[in-house]
Amino acid sequence: MSPAKRHEMFARLRAANPNPTTELAWSSPFELLVAVILSAQMTDKGVNAATAKLFPVANTPQAIAALGLDGLLPYLRTINFCNTKAANVLATCTALLERHGGEVPRDREALESLPGVGRKTANVVLNTVFREPAMAVDTHIFRVANRTGLAPGEDVREVEDRLLKVVPAEFLLDAHHWLILHGRYVCKARTPECWRCEIRDLCAYRPKTPDPAATVPPPRAKAVAKKQASRVRTVAKVVRSRAGAPARRRKEQA
């Protein structure tokens, strides 16, 4: 994809959604950190359902640490791998209290040293909370970057590095959110909804998915349907003829 197309792509995404943000519910850096730790192999909706019950009770490292594992687990029962994630959240709370005064650090190395926090989680926090030009490449962004030709790569790190290099500077802070939302709701994995895509003419993906409401059956399908309809009419005519045969014979005998 050319620099001009990349600029136009993000200009359109910005016009459609001027203020993109994460769909995870949070009101503090710590809440977002916990939500992202819980979000692995989960939908944002599923995470929000769990944190809506947890955060009113405990939304600080001190409060969650005080719950302990037995107190925390009931709030996370609907979360995939809840035992592992609960243990990571508690260990992260301890690390924050012991090493960072209970605050979420703004440093990548410090973030990635926390239990349950990898590069992607650190990127989400750095970008969303601290407005750093970080790119958290998940399955949606990886797909969109490759499918559109924006930043092709064999793995998430390669795609991340290319995105940071090719996304125009004026769009970089919000590019992560635009790409993930576009992948989640438009450029879907199984069937991309190309017919309603703002950037379909800029995208390298072929063939484009047609609008289901406007799809016209191909000529062969029409011919087959016509032939089948003819057969149905013929069979129906034969059935009617056979059904009337006894009556005609009785009439002739009379």
Active site residues: 120, 138
Q: Is the distance from CB of 71 to CB of 80 less than 8 angstroms?
A: no
**Which residue is it, tokens 């650090």?**
105
Please state, in angstroms and rounded to a whole number, the distance separating the CA atoms of residues 166 and 142. 15
String of DSSP letters for 3-22:
HHHHHHHHHHHHHH-SS---
> Could you write out the DSSP letters of every residue in 57-101?
T--SHHHHHHHHHHHHGGGSTTSTTHHHHHHHHHHHHHHHHHHST
C-alpha distances (whole Å) from 179 to each of 31, 132, 137, 150, 188 are 23, 16, 9, 10, 12
